[in-house]
Amino acid sequence: MTTVPQIKHPSQRVAYAFFAASAILFLLQVLFGLIIAAQYVWPTLLMNELPFNVGRATHLNLLTFWALLGLMGATYYLVPDETDSELFSVPLAYVQLGVMLLAGVGALASLWFFGLSRGKPFTEAAMPWPWFIALGAVLFLVNVGATIIRARRWTAITVVLFGGMAGLSVLYLTNLPFFANLAVDYYWWWWLIHLWVEGTWELVAAAIMAYLLITLTGVERAKMHRWLYVEVSLVLFTGIIGIGHHYYWIGTPRYWLLWGALFSAFEPIPIALMAWDAFASMKRRGAAPTNRVAWYWLGGTAIGHLLGAGVWGFAMTLPQINKWTHGTQLTASHGHFAFYGAFAMLVLAAVYTVLPRLRGVERVRERRGLWAFWLMTAGMLAMVLAFTIAGVVQVYLNRMIGIDFMTVRTQYVGFWMFWVWLFGLLMFLPGCALYVRDFFALTRKVNLQPLPS
């Protein structure tokens, strides 16, 4: 083997365990998604064993878990690099992973076997598991924060990354109390959901993206740092008050119709800037990339984020439209596209960048990884298209013509959900399974390919 990029700091290896857990939970999430999609088509399927609400809660919670574990893994890898020091504590990182996994298994087992739930989407985990999740977040912050403070290296990437992670942890606190008033409850719930995915998670994602671009394209660091600040500033300046697009119809004052529309109309701008910045950096790199799979996921997340979050989100963000589309399959189409584009593809870009380095090689055998990329990406696009048509049909027949909800769901929406299920089964699931297989194959030497000497 020739000289290849090695990790500089052995503590970066903890990323592997986080990525491995993340990959397995990803596959599980897809399996549960397929079951609930099938229930739209065959409503009596597993009706008593796994009712739709339990399947959906599982699908949503696994998504949050695997995406967060992936982002945490990427953070543990890049913070030693950025601070040029070892991680504060490797054992603490493993303890933290253990606490998070315990919380996840506990929450799902409580739901499956005891029917326990706190009954709000994404935050179904029954007590006491939310406290374990909060503990996991605190341990993570302590470990990452102590590393940065000890090294005294607050680079743009570490500032934004730590700010995002600290913010998302603080926001999680809104999930702990019980609110007697449903409208108040959902008011705070949106602080968690919106300020996570359109605020703090965006900061974490932007920081990881900046790190990956610097690592993979060799773009000038100082320039990337300035860009990062411009982008995340615009994300928060539009996104914080942009929370108003969730406050149109939930018992909140009418002024949110104006404020929400105004600010969220600008939310796609920073996302477009990020996509442009990513492609400009990738283009500047003269030579062909040595790790094409990572490269594909990186370009994929730039485009997927723009389309899924920017375009699909904007399409229903104005109150005149949202009044009709709120709470329909159109929301599901946006949710799937945005999560896949902004977070799933980014985590996979990080995994494919980091994994070969942990093994001390530059390239991996690419065939399987590229198949996984195309199967998942084309599968998701097809699913999003089917969700979108289902949503338009639902909005027209149920909301505009006024035909009864269940008639529309069983007679019209179900048909399009069949295609969601089919594309999921024939494309996304095999793509995801290939990724998981590739993930574990990459840890075996035989699948690694040294650089040509």
Partner 1 sequence: MSEKSLRNIFIVGTVLFLGVLVVMSRDSLSQIVMGRTPALSADVVAGKRVWQGKNCNDCHTILGIGGYYAPDLTKVVERRDPVWLANWLGNPQAVNPATTMPNQRLAAADVTSLVAFFKWVGGINTNDWPPQPRLNAGADTSGGAVVFQQKGCTACHQIGGKGPAKMGPDLSRIGSTPYDGLSNSAEFLAKWLENPQAQKSSTLMPRIPLTTTERDALVRYLTSLK
Among 46, 151, 173, 250, binds partner 1 (CB under 8 A): 250
Q: For residue 363, what are the β-bridge partners?
A: 449
Among 399, 415, 437, 441, binds partner 1 (CB under 8 A): 399
Which CB sits closer to partner 1, 122 or 371? 122
Tokens linked to 10: 């052995």
Chain center to CA of 336: 10
Count residues near partner 1 (CB under 8 A): 80
Question: Can residue 418 be called a binding residue for partner 1 (CB under 8 A)?
Answer: no
Q: Among the candidate windows 71-79, 154-162, 276-284, 365-373, which touches partner 1 by CB under 8 A?
A: 154-162
Contact between 348 and 297 under an 8 Å Cβ cutoff? The reply is: yes
Among 226, 235, 68, 77, residue whose Cα is nearest residue 155: 226
Among 245, 305, 357, 409, binds partner 1 (CB under 8 A): 409
Provide the phi-psi class of 224: left if phi over 0, else alpha when psi is between -120 and 50, else beta. Answer: alpha
Question: Site residues for partner 1, window 281-300 (CB under 8 A)?
Answer: none
Neighbours of 210 (CB within 10 A): 29
What is the C-alpha to C-alpha distance for residues 338 and 217, in angstroms, rounded to an integer?
25
Contact between 370 and 296 under an 8 Å Cβ cutoff? The reply is: yes
Question: Can residue 49 be called a binding residue for partner 1 (CB under 8 A)?
Answer: no
Encoded amino acid at 447, one letter: N
Q: Among the candidate windows 2-10, 127-135, 186-194, 350-358, which touches partner 1 by CB under 8 A?
A: 186-194
Which CB sits closer to partner 1, 44 or 453? 44
Which CB sits closer to partner 1, 230 or 311? 230
Among 146, 88, 126, 55, residue whose Cα is nearest residue 421: 55
Question: Site residues for partner 1, window 365-394 (CB under 8 A)?
Answer: 394
Which CB sits closer to partner 1, 93 or 204? 204
Question: Can residue 161 be called a binding residue for partner 1 (CB under 8 A)?
Answer: no
Task: Write each residue from 316 to 345 as x if it is in contact with partner 1 (CB under 8 A), else as -, in one continuous string.
Answer: -------xx-xxxx-xx-------------
Among 1, 400, 426, 451, binds partner 1 (CB under 8 A): 400
CB of 167 to partner 1, least distance (A): 9
CB of 12 to partner 1, least distance (A): 25
Question: Can residue 194 be called a binding residue for partner 1 (CB under 8 A)?
Answer: no
Among 411, 426, 445, 451, binds partner 1 (CB under 8 A): 411
Among 3, 6, 10, 47, binds partner 1 (CB under 8 A): 47
CB of 151 to partner 1, least distance (A): 18
Task: Write each residue from 58 to 77 as x if it is in contact with partner 1 (CB under 8 A), else as -, in one continuous string.
Answer: --x-----------------
Among 231, 197, 82, residue whose Cα is nearest residue 151: 82
Q: Among the candidate windows 79-87, 129-137, 250-258, 361-369, which touches partner 1 by CB under 8 A?
A: 250-258
Question: Can residue 410 be called a binding residue for partner 1 (CB under 8 A)?
Answer: yes
Length of the chain: 453
CB of 244 to partner 1, least distance (A): 8
CB of 422 to partner 1, least distance (A): 19
Question: Can residue 266 be called a binding residue for partner 1 (CB under 8 A)?
Answer: no
CB of 275 to partner 1, least distance (A): 20
Provide the phi-psi class of 117: left if phi over 0, else alpha when psi is between -120 and 50, else beta. Answer: beta
Question: Can residue 53 be called a binding residue for partner 1 (CB under 8 A)?
Answer: yes
Tokens linked to 412: 């019209």
Question: Can residue 180 be called a binding residue for partner 1 (CB under 8 A)?
Answer: yes
Which CB sits closer to partner 1, 10 or 115? 115
CB of 333 to partner 1, least distance (A): 11
Which CB sits closer to partner 1, 139 or 271? 271
CB of 306 to partner 1, least distance (A): 22
Among 13, 17, 24, 51, binds partner 1 (CB under 8 A): 51
